[in-house]
């Protein structure tokens, strides 16, 4: 069964140590947002645990943009590996890697495939 995006976000936030989670919330309250969206005040973020934070992000920004905002805040606190897993789930990344390998093999073996 495929993991929902909410579960993926929750699992990602649960991987942050307490200090990193605090720093994440601080960045989240200052992050640059698309027009039409408002920042979540730090006071609302301070005492929330990962499940409540997940719900707050998704209810404030929607699923797609909430994931994008969380990934941006993760990158801002030097957690790019977690951000990438959030933006490109493991199964999709594995498919992309496999597809890239297939193309690389094709181009190495058949250079004329690019001559058109």
pLDDT tens-digit map of 43-57: 999 999 999 999 999
* Selected residue with higher pLDDT from 103 and 58: 58
For the record, the structure tokens of 31 come out as 């992050």
- Per the listing, tokens 């997940």 go with 54
Average per-residue pLDDT for the chain: 83
35-91 per-position pLDDT tens digit: 999 999 999 999 999 999 999 999 999 999 999 999 999 999 999 999 998 887 555
pLDDT at res. 103: 55
Task: Please return the burial class of 112, using the count of CB atoms within 10 Å of its CB with bins 0-12, 13-18 and 19+.
Answer: exposed
What is the model's pTM? 0.73
Question: Residue 105: pLDDT above 80?
Answer: no
Nearest to 3 by CA among 97, 79, 86: 86
Query: What 3-state DSSP class applies to 87?
Result: helix
């Amino acid at each position: 069964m495929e993991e929902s995006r909410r579960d993926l976000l929750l699992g990602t936030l649960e991987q942050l140590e307490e200090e990193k989670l605090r720093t994440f919330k601080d960045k989240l309250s200052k992050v640059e947002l698309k027009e039409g969206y408002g920042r979540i005040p730090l006071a609302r973020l301070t005492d929330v645990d990962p499940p409540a934070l997940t719900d707050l992000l998704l209810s404030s920004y929607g699923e797609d943009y909430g994931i994008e905002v969380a990934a941006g805040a993760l990158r801002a606190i030097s957690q790019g590996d977690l951000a990438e897993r959030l933006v490109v789930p493991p199964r999709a990344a594995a498919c992309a890697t496999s597809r890239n390998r297939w193309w690389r093999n094709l181009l190495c073996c058949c250079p004329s495939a690019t001559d058109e």
